[in-house]
């Protein structure tokens, strides 16, 4: 059985987070999990090898910077990327590009 790509999504807007997770999990190759705070991201990344951390809406600039630094300290191979758009429009391209190595910038 092929291993799914693990994606962690963080965002404080519950309905939008749920939409993003539903869209990501519609791809059979991906398994997406959602959390709503930086500490939950850190805890999740310490317990599971995520390939991508997608930063959704609602965190402050400082929280986003803190999250990125701490996640990369746990595992520098994790692609940490901001999400834009809130729905299906850009979501898949963001993940494809991150997995191709275009993240953490």
Partner 1 sequence: MAQTVLHTADSRGGADHGWLKSYHSFSFAGYFNPERVQFGALRVLNDDSVDGGMGFGDHPHDNMEIISIPLEGSLQHKDSMGNLATIEPGEIQAMSAGTGIYHTEYNKDKSKAVKFLQIWIFPNKRNVEPRYDQVKIADAAQPNQLVQVLSPNADDAGVWIHQDAWFNMGNLETGTSVDYQIHKKGNGAYIFLLEGQIEVNGQQLNRRDGYGIWDTEGFSIRATTDAAFLIMDVPMEF
Neighbour tally for 19: CB within 10 Å: 16
Report, in Å, the least distance between residue 76 CB and partner 1: 23
What is the C-alpha to C-alpha distance for residues 86 and 105, in angstroms, rounded to an integer?
20
H/E element holding 10?
Answer: strand 5-10
Identity of the residue, 29 or 93, whose beta carbon is nearer to partner 1 in the bound complex:
93
Of 5-13, 24-32, 40-48, 73-81: span binding partner 1 (CB under 8 A): 5-13
Report, in Å, the least distance between residue 30 CB and partner 1: 14
Task: Tell me: does residue 22 bind partner 1 (CB under 8 A).
Answer: no
């Amino acid at each position: 059985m092929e291993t799914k790509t693990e994606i962690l999504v963080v965002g404080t807007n519950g309905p939008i987070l749920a939409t993003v997770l539903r869209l990501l999990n519609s791809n059979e190759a991906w398994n997406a999990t959602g959390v709503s705070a930086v500490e939950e991201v850190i805890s999740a990344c310490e317990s599971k090898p995520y390939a991508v951390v997608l930063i959704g809406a609602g965190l402050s600039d400082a929280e986003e910077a803190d999250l990125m630094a701490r996640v990369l300290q746990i595992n520098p191979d994790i692609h940490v990327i901001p999400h834009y758009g809130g729905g299906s429009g850009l979501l898949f391209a963001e993940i494809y590009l991150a997995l191709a190595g275009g993240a953490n910038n």
